[in-house]
Amino acid sequence: MRSIIGFIPTQNTNELHLRVKNLTGDVIEITNNTVVANFATMEKIDNKKVEIILTVIFPSNECEPYFVSQNHIKRHGINFHQFCMELKGYEIYDKNNEVPKWELFWGNISIYDIFGKNSSYTIKDRPVNLITT
């Protein structure tokens, strides 16, 4: 299965693209004009964490730089796709600056380094008001 990093297209006509920035999704369909991907995120609804699947349609002519191999380079025993899935859409901050997930992965930062007891990183839930109906 192919994966894609969420991105904001240059011709952004769908505000939902903003929700998938910095996440990796599973490509479910590729046509000549579009790439359809599912992104799994964790949202807080009524004080409970719920997995939300968001389907996004990207223009295919802009997708090539954002495709990721699920079985490629591994860091700390997991590949980039697995790393992003472990982070479940949380925002990761270092000294009050958000750190992109790709930067953490390629910087050889492990999941334990982020979630560990002595971690220097701050983890924030994504704001609840981003949920659309």
Q: Which pair of structure tokens corresponds to residue 91?
A: 């925002």
Share of the chain above pLDDT 70, in %: 81
Question: 21 and 66 in contact (C-beta within 8 Å)?
Answer: no
Does 118 have pLDDT greater than 80?
A: yes
- Mean pLDDT, residues 35-44 taken together: 84
| Residue 125 belongs to domain spanning | 3-130
Residue 126: per-residue pLDDT = 62
Task: Summarize pLDDT for 81-103 with one digit per residue, the tens.
Answer: 788 888 877 889 998 888 888 88
User: pTM for this structure?
Assistant: 0.49
Residue 69: per-residue pLDDT = 65
Does 13 have pLDDT greater than 80?
A: no
Domain count, the chain: 1
Q: Is 60 exposed, middle or buried (0-12, 13-18, 19+ CB in 10 A)?
A: middle
* Residue 77, CA distances (Å) to 30, 56, 61, 94, 100 in order: 29, 29, 33, 23, 20
On average, the pLDDT of the chain sits at 79
- Separation between Cα atoms, residue 87 and residue 48, nearest integer Å: 17
